[in-house]
A and B are shown apart, each in its own frame.
Chain A
Amino acid sequence: MNFAELELLRATAKEAIKLRLGEEPSDNYKYHVLVCGGTGCISIGCQNTLEALRKAIDSHGLQDTVKVVVTGCMGTCEMGPVITVFPEGYYYCRVQPEDAEEIVTSHLKLGKYVERLCYHAADGSVQPRKSDMTFFKKQKRNALRNCGLINQTSIEEYIAMDGYKALAKVLQEMTPQQVVDEVKKSGLRGRGGAGFPTGVKWQFVLDQKADQKYIVCNGDEGDPGAFMDRSVLEDDPYSVIEAMTIGGFAVGANKGYAYIRLEYPRAIEHFTKALNRAREVGLLGNNILGTDFSFDIEIRVGAGAFVCGEETALLASIEGRRGEPRPRPPFPAVSGLFGKPTVINNVETWANICPIIINGGDWYASMGTEKSKGTKVFTLAGKITNTGLVEVPMGITLREMVEDIGGGVPGGKAFKAAQTGGPSGGCIPAAYLDTPIDYENLAALGSIVGSGGMIIVDEGTCMVDLAKFYLGFTQDESCGKCTPCRIGTKRMLEILERITKGLGKEGDLELLIELANSIKASALCGLGQTAPNPVLSTLRYFRDEYEAHIKDKTCPAGVCKMPRKGLKS
């Protein structure tokens, strides 16, 4: 495929999805029925809904005017199976196979939408279209731009949505330095958690002289409660493949590795399919788009180790070794995979690259806050009405996230805290609900943006138990290479176990804090350095809960099993 052929394909492909973009289609289709095929919806039976819809559409003879498309995650995982009916974008939730008939007879035949299947907000109002839904109104989708809108592995639909426009632009009009400058200008920071400026990282690698350089995509998403990378890999794999190819051009690499965790079999399947398809049409491999630029990508499947999300551990794992981190410097930009200069970015970071190239770095930098530019994907989960995947401009307040997008805490319970950044992060209590979310503000509160997991907890959650949960996780996943992490987290966990059994004693909290600070200062990698955060953060805001466990031998939330009062244990 050359540049002209790509544009030709885009023109044809665009015609086929015009109806979804609110434009007049030139084909016979009156409706596009999009069925969410994200992992959440699949597990609650969207396949049956899909079959019932297809059957009902056929039995009413509408197969020539109604197109059924399986897409990636639409975002509202709690309400699955969900479907969207275009052109208007009517959004139906919890659609069961028996609902198919009514959707066909009422909506697709008479144009009358089925109100009972629409989203009903907590205040009782009905929000029938996507554009009416508070869940979507405050979102701005860059990394998730195609998720839930196109067929997951169709390169045609991806191209129709401006896919490969960025790569074509880069290959035709830009020098490697210009590409790096554009990414720098965007202010994009690593979305995996560390928040390092992406453009600066690329510049380091571009400046290295080497016979071989590598591009790596970190798809070892491991923070419990975070699933944005899985969604991007499953639902829009080409956006990552195209971006990695652009990265290869920018820094002078012709080989890339996508490291995807074993727990995401569908991501591996879709990504593999997409790689093959991209190769087939000449958008990956030798002489891409007829130029002398060649680039290819190989998948490496993780073998189940959280620490491999740490970049040096991940590189060791690709090399076939135990995924143990090593001290930096040298940074991967200087000595990375197989000792060569390597750009390693997270999936979500890659997914932001193409829009930046197409629209310019200034456009991306116009979103967000002063130091945290652009948009960030968060996964809302836990005790929240609208569980799911959302992308918002940096600087949105926690209150907007929880109340407007998330629909508040269900069951009339009170919001207690938002846990952000997974086992490396901390919690933000109700008093700070109006804090604008960005890297700096969350750090000041003792938490982090991290990979974007946001777990909402209510009054029924014990913060000591939650801290114990996270520490149990990091202790379990500690690779054991450095002493502070291996032994320090173990000692901390033992103290927490004691406290939650009602066996805590005077001085335990001081010891916890002392251990936490030593581990933070001396652990080898990010896993260990951040492991004490959940403890320090809950101690900062919920010290009274710890003290109730230790002094009164009670768990205020009623979660921990304490010995009955008066009994000596």
Chain B
Amino acid sequence: MGAECKCHCEQDNKLDALFAQYKGNPNGLIVVMAAIQETHGYLPKDLLIKTAEELGVPLSDVYGVATFYAAFSLRPRGRHTVNLCLGTACYVKGAPEVQAMLEKEMGIKAGNTTEDRRFSLDLVRCLGACGIAPVMTVNGEVYPRMTAEKVAEVLAKYE
């Protein structure tokens, strides 16, 4: 881990500002970690150690928070994030079939990243778009009324 970290890039300025803002203040932990997740796509080990030192939080607590929240990932993610909603409305309207097809097309189980790091597939609970269920998003772009048949066509758009 840490190999993917783009050190000393401009994104780090944003992090440095946050480190300064929350120096010695454990209350900023999630805010700082969310910024790392956003700029790096995951939480590199060296940055977590730095977070612990800067905010004055034991590293074990940082790890505890990292593994508690679904938004944080300790491993690098795919270039494209596919989120399939498994809320109730989506579930009763056929999301499980879409999930099966996604897993088949990608060759991975949900919650994982393809070996070529093209896709990460996650199951999410209710995107709040129940009117157009089943819903899937790719990098935030919403695909309404998904069916298993549409899966290949949608994935083909993302290299």
Contacts and interface: CB of A to CB of B under 8 A. Distances in A.
A305 B68 contact: yes
Interface in A235-289: 262-265
B128 A227 contact: yes
Given A304-B70, A455-B89, A39 B128 contact: yes
Nearest to B61: A321
A354 B72 CA distance: 37
Interface string B73-90: 000000000000011110
A478 to B, nearest CB: 12
Given A44-B132, A305-B68, A387-B131, A320 B30 contact: yes
Interface stretch (A189-197, A377-385, A521-529): A377-385
Interface stretch (A59-67, A118-126, A164-172, A217-225): A217-225
Contacts of A43: 129, 132, 135, 142-144
B68 A323 contact: yes
Contacts of A76: 131
B71 A382 contact: no
Nearest to A265: B140
Q: Size range of the interface on B?
A: 35 or more
A40 B132 contact: yes
Contact of A39 (B71, B89, B91, B129): B129
A393 interface: no
A310 to B, nearest CB: 14
Contacts of A78: 131-132
A225 B89 contact: yes
Contacts of A17: none
Given A43-B135, A321-B29, A455-B92, A479 B68 contact: yes
Given A320-B26, A381-B133, A223 B92 contact: no
A338 B26 CA distance: 12
Contact of A422 (B68, B88, B143): B88
Contacts of A319: 26-27
B88 A469 contact: yes
Contacts of A3: none
A300 to B, nearest CB: 8
Nearest to B55: A320
Contacts of B61: 321
A317 interface: yes
B58 to A, nearest CB: 12
A85 interface: no
Interface of A: 39-40, 42-44, 76-78, 80, 221-227, 230, 262-265, 300-306, 317-324, 338, 379, 381-383, 387-388, 419, 422, 453, 455, 457, 461, 466, 469-470, 473, 476-477, 479
24 contacts: A43-B132, A77-B130, A77-B132, A80-B131, A80-B132, A224-B86, A225-B89, A227-B129, A227-B130, A263-B124, A303-B30, A303-B70, A304-B70, A320-B30, A321-B26, A321-B29, A321-B61, A321-B65, A338-B27, A382-B92, A422-B88, A455-B92, A469-B88, A479-B68
Given A303-B69, A320-B65, A382-B88, 14 more contacts: A39-B142, A44-B132, A221-B128, A224-B86, A224-B87, A226-B128, A303-B30, A305-B70, A306-B125, A321-B61, A381-B89, A387-B131, A455-B89, A466-B92
